[in-house]
Amino acid sequence: MPVPPYDQKEDLSLSRSAEFLLNECRMVLPGIQALFGFQLIAVFNSGFFDMLDPVEQKFHLLALSLTAIAIAFVMTPAAFHRQTGPMRVTKEFIQLATRLLLWGMWPLLIALCIDFYLIARLIVDGWAASILTAVITAFFVSLWFIFPHTRRRP
């Protein structure tokens, strides 16, 4: 089946929409879970306590918590669907699941940037780490939120 041009509008059925949405969640989740695993492992590395001061260790805990929150947001649509209507899809489910997936991107973004800053701070001085983190944050915000907003169709 040929793919229509990007600007050509095509409405999906509710079931097809749900399929796309749940597949998007399935694609994102392994990456978030891998990040979470690396964040957990870092704490058990002896260098964690040697290289990061207590405040930075707490920032890492914040990043770990935000990643866990992102996982919860991304997994909720599937859990919700399985428990409330596994044999049907409603417009309300699509809207709720879309919101949950988008809300999950914010804590993930913040967690990524916190951990990026902590690692950058170990490699370069504080100002350079801050500038690099600001650039990375702007890059994520641009791609995840601003770019899609500019392509949104009424």
What's residue 123's pLDDT?
Answer: 94
Q: Cα–Cα distances in Å, from 104 out to 69, 71, 99, 110, 142?
A: 7, 7, 8, 10, 16
Q: How confident is the model at residue 31 (pLDDT cuts 50, 70, 90)?
A: confident
On whether residue 61 sits in a domain, the answer given is yes
Q: How confident is the model at residue 4 (pLDDT cuts 50, 70, 90)?
A: low
On whether residue 9 sits in a domain, the answer given is no
Q: How confident is the model at residue 16 (pLDDT cuts 50, 70, 90)?
A: confident
Residues 108 and 70: beta-carbon distance below 8 Å: yes
Higher per-residue pLDDT: 97 or 1? 97
Domain coverage including residue 63: 14-148
- How far apart CA 101 and CA 148 sit, in angstroms, is 14
Residues 39 and 60: beta-carbon distance below 8 Å: yes
Q: How confident is the model at residue 23 (pLDDT cuts 50, 70, 90)?
A: confident
Kindly state the percentage of the chain with pLDDT values over 90: 48
On whether residue 2 sits in a domain, the answer given is no
* Domain CATH number, residue 73: 1.20.140
User: What is the DSSP track for the chain?
Assistant: -PPPPTTS--PPPHHHHHHHHHHHHHHHHHHHHHHHHHHHHHHTSHHHHHHS-HHHHHHHHHHHHHHHHHHHHHHHHHHHHHHH-TT---HHHHHHHHHHHHHHHHHHHHHHHHHHHHHHHHHS-HHHHHHHHHHHHHHHHIIIIIHHHHH---
* 7: pLDDT strictly greater than 60: no
Summarised one tens digit per residue, pLDDT across range 80-101 is 888 887 777 888 888 998 899 9
On whether residue 7 sits in a domain, the answer given is no
Across 9-13, 43-47, 48-52, 139-143, the highest mean pLDDT is recorded for 139-143
On whether residue 119 sits in a domain, the answer given is yes
What's residue 20's pLDDT?
Answer: 83
On whether residue 95 sits in a domain, the answer given is yes
On whether residue 75 sits in a domain, the answer given is yes
On whether residue 8 sits in a domain, the answer given is no
Domain count, the chain: 1
